[in-house]
Amino acid sequence: MSQGEWFTTYLQYENLRDLLNVVLYTSQSFMAITPMLYCIRYKEKEILFVHTGIVGGVVAHYFISEEKPSTKFIELNKMTSNYKFTNAIGDNSQSIYIPIVNLVRSTLAFPLTDSNM
């Protein structure tokens, strides 16, 4: 196990909305940072994930998607936590626009098992 793996915690979410609630919480914290939503094909699965954490390690929050997103952003309403996929940043002041970044390779080793595949 590498040193990076010692400090990485993986949290798998049941649905995308729960994962996006982490983004919403992070964006409303005192640092007001909106994390990017990363997408990677890992062990024949489409994984959507965000990284959080600064002190004491990194947390990889992830969701196994049925398919790769075909858009560039997610529009996430700050008041209702409703979301939709979109290709452009809009002008809705009640929403944050989360970029979807497609990765080719990562050093993360997602803990996939037969039960979550």
Residues of the chain with pLDDT under 70: 1-6, 29-32, 54-56, 114-117
Kindly report the pTM of this predicted structure.
0.84
Q: What share of the chain is helix, strand, coil (3-state, %, to 5)?
A: 15, 40, 45
Sequence spans of domains, the chain: 3-103
Helix, strand, or coil here: 115?
A: helix
pLDDT of residue 3: 47
Pick from 116, 109, 97: which is nearest to 23 by CA?
97
pLDDT of res. 26: 80
pLDDT of residue 88: 96
